[in-house]
Structure 1
Amino acid sequence: MRFRRVRDTDESFTTFVATRSHRLIAHAELLCGHREQARDIVQSVLVRAYQRWSRIEHDDPYGYVQRSVTNAVTDWWRTAQQRHERPVDVVPDVPIGEDTTFEDRRALLSALDSLTHRERTIVVLRYFDDHTEKDVAETLRISVGTVKSTCHTALRKMRIALDPHPYPGPMEQS
């Protein structure tokens, strides 16, 4: 009987990884800005999740693992000062998503790089992962007002980063 449960757990976890890992890696990449680092973080989180899989698989496994990825990226940022390694901007032979061009992806990551870690995390959770403001606030243990104001500031920074010379509005024309 125990052998059957282990096999069922393994199959359930394998299915989860096969269907959700790409999304988790994309989430981590948007948070940290580096594809290979994102893969490493997701792999580490999945190893820990597998050890707890029987307890989390019936509740909300994606939510649990996604929150763990967010926390792991936060830990990665916190320890960045202690590491001597430096991620590179361009990694050779990195696959690019089919739905975006290399330039679009590069521009998005560059715009995300202009944000603070908190701003970046909030934008990714709110817009890439489509969480409500309340969900983001609960995940990061901050107020909904902080989520709103940080989003506003971050989106303004991203707009400037993506279009540094916007069309002048009516008040700016001479």
Structure 2
Amino acid sequence: MTNERDEQFHSFVLSHRAGLVRTATLLTAGDAHLAEDLVQSTLTKLYVAWPAFRRADNPEGYLRRTLVNALTDEKRRWWRRHERPVADLPDRPHAEPDPDDRSDGLRLALRELPPRMRAALVFRYFYDLDVADTADALGCSEGTVKSQTARALDRLRTVLAPTELPLTGVIR
């Protein structure tokens, strides 16, 4: 037997789940399995706090904040730091990614950023949120968003910058 709350939540999930998975995939730098786990955790927390969510002035911000908190909680788990799950065991060591593939390079560079720094980039540049909305989603000050974004962009520029070959030994 379902009540009105369950029906409201069910219709919310049907209309927002795909967007949540897309956002979570960006926040996890392409880790689809972790993204699915984050969405499930977010929806569980949202169901428990459904009355508060319905009363929120900014439900989209509430949802983003819950998703980022789920990511932060997941990254703090002790076993996350010790295990690297893979779908199939490799026969040989993993080959390095193709240096000409910029999307893989970007994904790998994003993966190296701390979760909150990555979240600041995703909200600012993928979702085009302003500094205030990003600060609300991350639960921090606007100055923190600006500094995290600047540091993240600097790290990405360093990692993704084309390597320059030295000109020593070049015959002219």
Determine if the TM-score, normalized by the shorter chain, exceeds 0.5. yes
Aligned residue in 1 for 2:5: 9
Alignment of 1:1-174 (within 5 A): 6=3, 8-33=4-29, 34-57=31-54, 59=56, 60-80=58-78, 84-88=82-86, 105-165=103-163
After TM superposition, the structure 1 stretch with the greater mean CA deviation from structure 2, 70-79 or 19-28, is: 19-28
Residue 65 of structure 1 and its aligned partner are, at CA, apart by: 2.4
Q: Tell me if the contact between 1:45 and 1:72 (Cα under 8 Å) persists in the aligned partners.
A: yes
SS in 2 for 1:57: helix
In the TM superposition, structure 1's runs of 4+ consecutive aligned residues that sit over 4 Å from their partners are 80-84
Q: State the TM-score, normalizing by the size of structure 2.
A: 0.69
Q: Tell me if the contact between 2:68 and 2:116 (Cα under 8 Å) persists in the aligned partners.
A: no
Q: Tell me if the contact between 1:27 and 1:128 (Cα under 8 Å) persists in the aligned partners.
A: no
Aligned residue in 2 for 1:96: none
- Note the aligned Cα RMSD (angstroms): 2.9
Superimposed CA distance per residue, residues 50-103 of structure 1 (whole angstroms, 9 cap, x where no aligned partner): 23324423534433222111001011112245664324499xxxxxxxxxxxx5
Q: How many residues matched?
A: 150
Gap regions ≥5 residues in structure 1: 91-102, 167-174
Give the letter for the 1:68 counterpart: T
Give the letter for the 2:21 counterpart: I
Superimposed CA distance per residue, residues 16-40 of structure 1 (whole angstroms, 9 cap, x where no aligned partner): 2122112212222222332111101
Q: Tell me if the contact between 1:125 and 1:136 (Cα under 8 Å) persists in the aligned partners.
A: yes
Q: Tell me if the contact between 1:125 and 1:131 (Cα under 8 Å) persists in the aligned partners.
A: yes
Aligned residue in 1 for 2:97: none
Q: State the TM-score, normalizing by the size of structure 1.
A: 0.69
Give the letter for the 2:13 counterpart: V
The 1:21/1:86 distance shift into structure 2, 3 A limit, reads: same
- Distance in 1 separating the partners of 2:25 and 2:45: 19
Q: Tell me if the contact between 1:28 and 1:42 (Cα under 8 Å) persists in the aligned partners.
A: yes
